[in-house]
A and B are shown apart, each in its own frame.
Chain A
Amino acid sequence: MTIRNTETHWGWPSKVLHWLTAVLILIQIPLGFYAEEIKLSPLKLDLFVWHKSIGMLVLLLAIERLLWRMTGTIPKTPDASSLQRRLAQLAHATLYGLMIALPISGWIITSAANIPTKLFWLIELPAITGPDEALKSLAAEVHEVCVFLLIAILVTHIGAALRHHFILRDSILKRMWF
């Protein structure tokens, strides 16, 4: 397996980061909803430490993936109408945007809420704002809107990948696998 991406293949770093991010996000979404919903308890506090820790990890991975993309190449999109190609590019750009906007808005929430956080109970996450109830509410709304947008895009992203694999029977999904 190659390290660098080519015009036709994904290198293993891109593959690993893609699937790692996928698993983390698929955990994060239900984790966030559940932690938010349950009433205050020691478990709720612990779940939020997990949620914030995984969230910042996704942010880190997203930045790494973006740098990797920008300093290298990515495989060409397959023969498809330019509309489909544009939609795919838009969906992926949106996914990257959300992988940055969600952790950042979450970081603002915890900072404005004056809650200290040790990621994975190991590394302190510094506050990026001072205590501010109004800012916390605003960031929470942004965070929530972004989650619903993420779910919508993920449905199309996963659906499209499965369509390429099972209906169109091309190599789109295969080439992201090992």
Chain B
Amino acid sequence: MKYLALAALILCPLSKAGDWQSDLSQSELTYAVNFEQLPLNGEFKEFAVDYSHQQQLRVVVDISSVDMSNSDINEAIRDTDWFDIKSHSQAVFFSDAINTIDENQYTAQGTLQLKGISKPVTVPFSWNSANAKANSATMVGELTLSRSDFSIGSQEWASGDQIGIDVTVRFDVQMLQHASK
């Protein structure tokens, strides 16, 4: 039994590679939605990703940082029928079930809390350590969410005719490794 404990003690530092955190200045979180049958893009300017390789992923998005490059649209999406930013200014995705799909390809099965509604979501992503620096990596991925799952664009906007239901979310995040605690 004590050999097991010794082994665990020796192996422990290797199993947890240290916390990775996003460098916002080198990262982007964007989305595309159909607007009268053509894609319209938006982005979230403030978000933070915390990741322990193959163990835990947490993404916190400041929803109020949303920008669709149009002042009328930006004003409308802050309203109660859409993001309802006054009541829900943050969205959080958390996963502690990271699966390996292929070389550098993973999925994070977790929960997304958006506009106060929690739904199971799986986020696929690639993880590539930059060649130059040992403590930086790039996390890239794309997934499609249904805005109706989160009551975004409700009431008269619920049909999906003018503004599509499916939203393609894309992220390209520069991650930096910090020392283990």
Complex CA–CA separation, A27 to B147 (angstroms):
35
Cβ contact within 8 Å between B35 and A116: yes
B69-97 CB contacts (< 8 Å) to partner A: 69-72, 76
A45 interface residue per 8 A CB criterion: yes
Cβ contact within 8 Å between A42 and B72: no
Secondary structure type dominating chain B contacts: mixed
Cβ contact within 8 Å between A133 and B36: no
* Selected contact of B71 from candidates A45, A116, A133, CB within 8 Å: A133
A131 interface residue per 8 A CB criterion: yes
Residues of B close to A31: CB separation below 8 A: none
1/0 contact string of B141-163 vs chain A (CB within 8 Å): 00000000000000011010111
Complex CA–CA separation, A138 to B151 (angstroms):
36
Residues of A close to B159: CB separation below 8 A: 42
- The 5 A-B residue pairs with the shortest CB-CB distance in the complex, in nearest-first order: A116-B38, A114-B69, A42-B162, A131-B69, A45-B162
The total of interchain contacts (Cβ-Cβ below 8 angstroms) comes to 41
Cβ contact within 8 Å between A40 and B76: yes
Complex CA–CA separation, A49 to B35 (angstroms):
11
B25 interface residue per 8 A CB criterion: no
- Least Cβ–Cβ distance between A119 and chain B, in angstroms: 10
B39 interface residue per 8 A CB criterion: yes
- Least Cβ–Cβ distance between A121 and chain B, in angstroms: 6
Complex CA–CA separation, A44 to B72 (angstroms):
13
- Least Cβ–Cβ distance between B23 and chain A, in angstroms: 26
* Selected contact of B36 from candidates A40, A41, A118, A131, CB within 8 Å: A118
Q: A41-B156, A42-B157, A42-B159 are in contact. Are A114 and B68 (CB under 8 A)?
A: yes
1/0 contact string of B15-49 vs chain A (CB within 8 Å): 00000000000000000000111111000000000
